[in-house]
Amino acid sequence: MKKVRTRFAPSPTGYMHIGNLRTALYEYLIAKHDGGDFILRIEDTDQAREVEGAIDMIYHVLEDTGLHYDEGPNKPGDCGPYVQSQRLPLYKEYADRLVELGGAHYCFCHEEDIQKMREQNSEGQIFKYQDPCHAISIEEARKRIANGETYTIRQTIPSNGITSFEDEVYGHIEVENATLDEGVLLKSDGYPTYNFANIVDDHLMGITHVVRGNEYLSSTPKYNLIYQSFGWDIPSYIHVPPVMKDEQHKLSKRNGDASYQDLIDKGFLKEAILNYIALLGWAPNGEEEIFTLNELIGAFSVDRISKSPAIFDIEKLKWMNGVYLRNMDIETFHEYALPYYQKTITAKVDLLELSKVLQPRVVMLEDICEAVDFIDQAHPFNIDLYTSKKMKTNPENSLEALKWVRTALAKTEHYDDDEALMNLFVHIAQEHVVKNGRIMWPVRVALTYKSFTPGGAVEIAHILGKEETLKRIDQAIEELEKAITA
């Protein structure tokens, strides 16, 4: 049995978008599930669209996510070079050979004229260029080329018959040859088109399985005709459905949709991102949704890839990211949180204690800055925050509760003991025959001037310490008295 070899072949045209990373992940999992090789190939033949720094970004993302390739530009094997712009003589050699085999022909038509015909084509009709250069013999064509005439090499497709193939996701596909356009394989500048270069490279690199978007289903018969002309083995095809931002629109880096780096910058964990995108079009055998990369290798199977588009649900990713954060030990979470504290907090507080409060509540690391910004300076006074129907609080009874708390807190020294502080607040509520929320809510607001806080009154008082807690309660009492009597 031939060793499984897959390849991730991105174009360096920008950041790594989610659909592209999912393709890399699936290629990696298919190879590693069967003990095969995962190859990285840079397809940079579209020089006009290449973005500076994009190749380095590809290397970084694969390294960061643990999708380590067995062969590639920085890890040469026997099939290099692994950058297409360094393989140009190969494409010319194989394009000329394909002409001799009858699978392609030299074309001297101007692209501008062909484009005009394409634009004049009746709407809804399949455009197939009727190339007059079919009638030119190879000998005559080569004389014209020797005389300096500009040319391309265009695929020759039979005018009748059917080309079929088996796809591991979509099953049996067949297309009438008469509907296939004879595309350019080698451009006039000597660069190959994607449709030719990837076939030559996949063959020479021994690729056994090709994963790509289902938009290439209609082009695959053209690729297979080239394989057949050369007498090469055709790889297994796995065409995957698109990743959608909603029911009508695909995720696209051209449209500015979130890239891998965007998600990292927002505080998503690389492990959560990789886990989530694995589930965009693939379903595990069972109810489990949380997988390490090694667990994905063991669980992944092509037969569970869906034919239906997958919608990128940021809320589901947030949930999954939260699971990963909560599953960390506190020391690891604290290390992740420290950079966000350093951006937001200058006051001296127990940051490890703050991490203990935040870990069960945070779903994105980026949320930390907003969650803790009250520590350095409370937000502006807002009397409306002291009204909560759920807690049955209003400014008047909040003022009353804060005065009770102020008296009790001034006498206690148990600011490092959450249980003692909680018992203190509960005792105040029992003493005045009110529910705990009537005490806790005003204290939380007084200490943060926020309705949503990273912890409850006990945790926040503990983090701020006695002096700062009393100072903020005094200020809240003063502001409430002014507002109520105004």
CB atoms within 10 A of CB 481: 13
Q: Look up tokens 């090499």; give the residue.
A: 153
Which candidate in 187, 253, 270, 316 is catalytic?
253
**Alpha-helical segments (H) within 279-378:** 293-299, 314-326, 330-344, 351-358, 367-372
| 253 in active site | yes
- Provide the token pair at 272: 């959560």
Query: DSSP state, 123?
Result: T
Locus of tokens 């940051």: 351
Cβ atoms 365, 342 nearer than 8 A: no
* DSSP 3-state of 373: coil
Q: Provide the 10 A C-beta neighbour count for residue 355.
A: 21
* Rounded-to-integer distance, Cα 5 and Cα 31, Å: 6
CB 189 within 8 Å of CB 151: no
Instruction: State the Cα–Cα distance between residues 25 and 51, nearest whole angstrom.
Output: 23
Q: In one letter, which amino acid is 208?
A: T
Q: Tokens in use for 336? A: 């992740």
Strands 37-40 and 162-167, bridge-based pairing: unpaired
169 touches 239 (CB < 8 A): yes
In this structure, what are the phi and psi dihedrals at residue 184, rounded to the nearest 5 degrees?
Answer: -75, 135
Whether omega for the bond prior to residue 454 falls within 30 degrees of 0, making it cis, is: no
Distance of alpha carbon 480 from alpha carbon 80, whole angstroms = 74
Active site residues: 253
